[in-house]
């Protein structure tokens, strides 16, 4: 089986690029952030303190996450309900960041993620794919961009969706999330020693796509 691991901070363009690369290469796209977001959403919906590991752990038995590939792209299901849009809200992103710090949550998702990589050729994106989930991945990429460049992209995306939010809030959220993701004790965000670093601060989508496709084609032989 071929497995491509793409890790990096929030807003580096991982999921948009990963989706398109997986399609082009014919691999299954696994959005691991969506899995953490689904757990974060469930906790928010049930009034559970996302920082309380025991409380979050107790919900795992009641949570069933489905990633389905449909004609219009990947859909995320939480207990059979389509939550693809709901999990993209800023507050759910923060909740996902909090629940992802709990080792029990990570262990629960790790098993599911490894199972997916054993069943098909996958392109998996997240924070710890190259370091923890798939240490023997065929190709590892660490995709990053400056926090300002990432906040600008995110701000544009939110404005296009009609959400009213100011740029400084978006930048502060990104920086807070970076801090949480890199400073947690369990599987913090870090570049695997054998990952290829790609900085997209000065690249547009097409340029980033071509660069990654080329890297994967060269290394996944």
Query: Which of 71, 64, 11 shows the shortest CA–CA distance to 35?
Result: 64
Q: How far is the CB of 142 from ligand DC (least distance, A)?
A: 13
The partner residues of 7 in beta bridges, in order of sequence, read 126, 142
Query: What is the residue-wise DSSP string for 64-131?
Result: -EEEEEETTEEEEEETTEE-TTGGGSHHHHHHHHHHTT-HHHHHHHHHHHHHHHHHS-EEEEESSIII
* Helix (H) or strand (E) segment spanning residue 55: helix 53-59
Q: How far is the CB of 87 from ligand DC (least distance, A)?
A: 8
CB closer to ligand DC, 27 vs 150: 150
CB closer to ligand DC, 126 vs 142: 126
What residues make contact with ligand DC under the rule CB under 6 A?
10, 32-33, 36-37, 93, 96-97, 100, 126-129, 177, 181
Q: Residue 213: CB partners within 8 Å, gap ≥ 6?
A: 21, 24, 25
CB closer to ligand DC, 36 vs 142: 36
DSSP 28: E
CB closer to ligand DC, 118 vs 217: 118
CB closer to ligand DC, 39 vs 196: 39
């Amino acid at each position: 089986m071929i497995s491509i691991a793409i890790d990096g901070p929030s807003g580096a363009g991982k999921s948009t690029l990963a989706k398109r690369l997986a399609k082009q290469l014919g691999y299954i796209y696994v959005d691991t952030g969506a899995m953490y977001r689904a757990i974060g959403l469930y906790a928010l919906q049930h009034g559970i303190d996302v920082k309380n590991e025991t409380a979050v752990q107790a919900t795992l038995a009641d949570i069933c996450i489905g990633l389905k590939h449909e004609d219009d792209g990947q859909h995320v299901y939480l207990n059979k309900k389509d939550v693809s849009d709901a999990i993209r809200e800023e507050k759910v992103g923060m909740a996902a960041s909090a629940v992802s710090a709990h080792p029990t949550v990570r262990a629960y998702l790790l098993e599911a993620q490894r199972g997916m990589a054993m069943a098909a050729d996958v392109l998996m994106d997240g924070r710890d794919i190259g370091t923890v989930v798939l240490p023997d991945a065929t190709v590892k990429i660490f995709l990053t961009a400056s926090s300002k460049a990432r906040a600008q992209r995110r701000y544009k995306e939110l404005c296009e969706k009609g959400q009213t939010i100011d740029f400084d809030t978006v930048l502060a959220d990104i920086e807070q999330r970076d801090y949480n993701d890199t400073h947690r004790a369990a599987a913090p965000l870090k570049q695997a020693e054998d990952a290829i670093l790609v900085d997209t601060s000065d690249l547009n989508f097409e340029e980033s796509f071509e660069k990654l496709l080329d890297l994967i084609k060269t290394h996944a032989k």
